[in-house]
Amino acid sequence: MTEPNPKDPAAIPDAAKRPGRDGKSNATIYDIAKLAGVNPSTVSRALSKPGRVSAKTQKLIEDAAAELRYQVNPFARALPTGRTNTIGLIVADITNPTFFDIIRGAQATGTLRDYTLVLAESAESGVTELTAARRMMATADGLILASPRMDDNDIRALAADKPVVVINREVDGVPCVIPDVGKGISEAVRSLAANGHRKLAFVAGPPQSWMSARRWEGVQAACEWSRVTPVRLESSRPTVEGGRQVAREVLASGATAVMTYNDLLAIGLMQELQAGGMAVPDRISIVGFDDIFGADFTTPPLTTVRSPLGECGTAATTRLLDLLVGEGGDAGTLRVETELVLRGSSGRVVRQG
């Protein structure tokens, strides 16, 4: 018996000849139409706007598309509509848990409205951020900037091209979503004052951080009201290692309590002080900011000011998608409240000696 020649087209089963079966060729709506026995225009309606064909025809087309491994090309779809159904999100540091809930909120909201989220980071660099933003704007329908490091004029220039929404910063003329730090900081400072603290150190974030400046302003205002003396200390970077490195300055300041720009700084500071024999909170109270995942894993668990980061991600994405359909309203700022979360790292001043 003669074996079939694999190079002979007649010897290849019909199913194996179909587009999309060999992993190289791409099926088209014409291939789907042929397999399903319908017109290409019917396939186009079924794939782009489900519900415009009968349920039976829709199922027939979907089965044919699955068999042919058909993939929608968003850029081909964008040719007639100008839309790719993608939105960009740029964060300052992708390794920082502060951004996890923002990403999750943006992703979930985009998915509900048939949009795909594309993620990038600036690595705390305004130059890197602007480059990434310009590249994203070439294909994405709009952009969300979380804690942006570029200057206001660059952000406004991007917003003049396509819809842009900013998180954790206010930019005139651009829709923004920010945590209102006043309530949470006031609660934290009042709690410390009630526990006998009279001097509070604030460990600041990156110099280019708009939110770090607002948090320091909030600390100063709350300390004045509660008759607590504030002192500002600089950090090398807003990370656990940055918190360790600032420990000596915290001790030298004479403060009995410290609030940090974010939870990572607070965790690093706590680790370094404890390694040096300092009891927390008996010798010094520590308050973080954001209430990231893991803030309660420390010993003692970290007292912190909670920022509704997931809500910020959801709200920013909702505003962006509304702008894309002409329902975004004005370019004002949406504020969401912060609140104090009391845990074991803050308490009464314990007099030594």
Per-residue confidence in pLDDT tens, the chain, 353 aa: 444 444 444 443 444 445 544 444 478 888 888 998 988 888 878 877 667 788 888 888 888 888 888 876 655 555 455 678 999 999 999 999 999 999 999 999 999 999 999 999 999 899 999 999 999 998 999 999 999 999 999 999 999 999 999 999 999 999 999 999 999 999 999 999 999 999 999 999 999 899 999 999 999 999 999 999 999 999 999 999 999 999 999 999 999 999 999 999 999 999 999 999 999 999 999 999 999 999 999 999 999 999 999 999 999 999 999 999 887 667 789 999 999 999 999 999 876 54
In a domain, 252, yes or no: yes
Decide if 162 contacts 140 (C-beta within 8 A): yes
Report yes or no on 95 lying in a domain: yes
Q: Tell me what pLDDT residue 328 has.
A: 66
Q: Same structural domain for residues 315 and 299?
A: no
Q: Are residues 251 and 289 in the same domain?
A: yes
Q: How many domains does the chain have?
A: 3
Note whether 238 and 262 are within 8 A (CB).
yes
Q: Cα torsion at 233, 236, 238, 240 (round to 10°)?
A: -100
pLDDT of residue 120: 96
Range of the domain at 166: 85-179+309-336
Identify the CATH number of the domain in which residue 330 sits: 3.40.50.2300
Would 77 be classed as within a structural domain? no
Please report, for the domain that includes residue 68, its CATH number. Answer: 1.10.260.40
The side-by-side arrangement of strands in the sheet containing 86-91 is 116-121, 86-91, 142-146, 164-167, 176-180, 333-337
Predicted pLDDT of residue 225? 96
The verdict on 187 and 294 lying in the same domain is: yes
Domain match, 125 and 201 both: no
The answer for residues whose C-beta is within 8 angstroms of residue 100's C-beta and 6 or more apart is 292, 293, 309
Structure tokens at 201: 């150190």
pLDDT of residue 81: 54
Cis peptide before 281 (omega within 30 of 0): yes
Are 67 and 103 in a shared domain?
A: no
Residues 6+ apart with CB under 8 A from 168: 146, 147, 178, 179, 210, 211, 312
Is position 348 within any domain?
Answer: no
156 within a domain of the structure (yes/no): yes
Contacts of residue 34, Cβ cutoff 8 Å, sequence gap at least 6:
none
Q: Would you call 227 helix, strand, or coil by DSSP?
A: coil
Q: Is residue 349 part of a domain?
A: no
- The predicted structure's pLDDT at residue 28: 82
175 and 314 fall within a common domain: yes
Which residues are registered as beta bridge partners of 286?
A: 258
What is the pLDDT at residue 234?
Answer: 96
